[in-house]
């Protein structure tokens, strides 16, 4: 069964605007972690931000922030002040449970973001 759902296959955003990328997840564990990655056209996967299920505050990392709504099982990524270099595929991923020493990540299908001048 799909554990991570990213419903937006593609989005256009204007430079300097903010964009929100949706991610919902399914788990029965109380302890889990959520990750966001960026994949430019070159293919490498770049880690952006992490949110733990027990974290009381929403994670922030520079222009990236996470809108974590545990009851709704959503972990949306917000990119503020978009730049042309933000054009890429963005993936939401989950690690469950956090005590899993294997550390496997399950990924969503991704959202393609295109930033326009």
Partner 1 sequence: SQTIHQWPATLVQPVGSPLSLECTVEGTSNPNLYWYRQAAGRGLQLLFYSVGIGQISSEVPQNLSASRPQDRQFILSSKKLLLSDSGFYLCAWRAGRRADSPLHFGNGTRLTVT
Cα separation, 50 vs 45, whole angstroms: 14
CB atoms within 10 A of CB 76: 19
Binding residues with partner 1: total (CB under 8 A):
26
Binding mask 19-48 for partner 1 (x = CB under 8 A): ------------x-x-x------xxxx-x-
Alpha-carbon 33 to chain mean position: 11
Binding mask 81-110 for partner 1 (x = CB under 8 A): ----------x-x-x--xx-xxxxxxxxxx
Query: Residue 115 has which token pair?
Result: 């930033």
CB atoms within 10 A of CB 6: 21
Could you list the residues that contact partner 1 (CB under 8 A)?
Answer: 4, 31, 33, 35, 42-45, 47, 50, 52, 91, 93, 95, 98-99, 101-110
């Amino acid at each position: 069964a799909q554990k991570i759902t990213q419903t937006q296959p593609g989005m256009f955003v204007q430079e300097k605007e903010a964009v929100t990328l949706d991610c919902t997840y399914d788990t029965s564990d109380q302890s889990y972690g959520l990750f966001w990655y960026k994949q430019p056209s070159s293919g490498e996967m770049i880690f952006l931000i992490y949110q733990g299920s027990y974290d009381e505050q929403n994670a922030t990392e520079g222009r990236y922030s996470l809108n974590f709504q545990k009851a709704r099982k959503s972990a949306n990524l917000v990119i503020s002040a978009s730049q042309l270099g933000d054009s890429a595929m963005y993936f939401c991923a989950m690690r469950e449970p956090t005590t899993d020493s294997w550390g496997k990540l399950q990924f969503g299908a991704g959202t393609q973001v295109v930033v326009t001048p």
